[in-house]
Amino acid sequence: MDLGIAGRRALVCAGSKGLGRGCAEALAREGVHVTITARGKEALEATAAAIRAAGGKIATVAGDITTPEGRAAALAACRDPDILINNAGGPPPGEFRDWTIEDWMKALNANMLTAIELIKATIDPMIARKWGRIVNITSGSVKAPIPILGLSNGARTGLTGFCAGLARQVAKDGISVNGLLPGPFDTDRLRSSMAFEAKKLGRPVEEVAKERAAHNPSRRFGTAEEFGAACAFLCSVHAGYITGQNLLMDGGAINSSI
């Protein structure tokens, strides 16, 4: 299927690895001119080189997307994108009694306000062009909260609530705003959280990973490629009538009828 977005411009935040990289690769494969951001230059350039080698058009911006300077640099490199993929690292797990206002402000900044600031900076030109796609990479925890990830549950649900209203405000302007909600995907983040768990339990990490995958109805973790393909579809010309939605990709892990 031709997604009809060749020549469009996309800003993919936190796109050097994992799910962001999956989105960048899938969009670049469709002929989209992609700009990726990340803090670490090495992985950023390695990802860009791989996308370029595959024939994609890609630019990079090194910086922390959760800071005003990082966002300014990203927007200077990719002025008025047609497609905005909001993503950043997730907050740490913990016990809610230990979290200070500073911990909350950090989580809200990274996983709610950063995305809202980027939307604010890019949406008016999208409205003027009568076309735009905004995809927020959030988490399955938006639908089924994970107690030890309370900072993530809170911040991501805040973004989801804001975008639910925004999507209805800008639908008439040809803009869709959706959430893409990962369950367990085989990325550095998942691997490091399993390594942490394995260490705590004093068990081999491969064993913990195998057990965790076996608990999923699909008996495996998702791949960044699958995630990217779904993201590219949400950004396609065919998905213009899908807005204000939260697409869960978790292999069926969350047990629910709708």
- 79: three-class secondary structure by DSSP: coil
Contact positions toward ligand NAP, by CB under 6 A?
Answer: 14, 16-20, 37-40, 43, 64-66, 87-90, 137, 139, 182, 184-185, 187-190
Phi, psi of 38, rounded to the nearest 5 degrees: -175, 165
Phi, psi of 246, rounded to the nearest 5 degrees: -130, 100
Cβ closest to ligand NAP, residue 170 vs residue 179: 179
Cβ closest to ligand NAP, residue 57 vs residue 189: 189
Residue 98 C-beta: closest distance to ligand NAP, Å: 19
Residue 173 C-beta: closest distance to ligand NAP, Å: 28
CA atoms within 13 A on the CB side of 5: 29
CA atoms within 13 A on the CB side of 187: 22
Cβ closest to ligand NAP, residue 31 vs residue 93: 93
Residue 210 C-beta: closest distance to ligand NAP, Å: 16
Residue 21 C-beta: closest distance to ligand NAP, Å: 6
Give the residue from 211, 209, 105, 116 showing the smallest Cα distance to 154: 105
Cβ closest to ligand NAP, residue 89 vs residue 240: 89
Residue 168 C-beta: closest distance to ligand NAP, Å: 25
Residue 41 C-beta: closest distance to ligand NAP, Å: 8
β-strand partners of 58? 34
> Hey, what amino acid is at 229?
A
Instruction: With beta carbons less than 8 A apart as the criterion, state whether 135 and 235 touch.
Output: yes
Q: What is the Cα 23 distance to its own chain's centre?
A: 8
**How far is residue 37's CA from residue 52's CA, in Å, rounded to a whole number?**
15
Cβ closest to ligand NAP, residue 16 vs residue 236: 16
Cβ closest to ligand NAP, residue 117 vs residue 173: 117
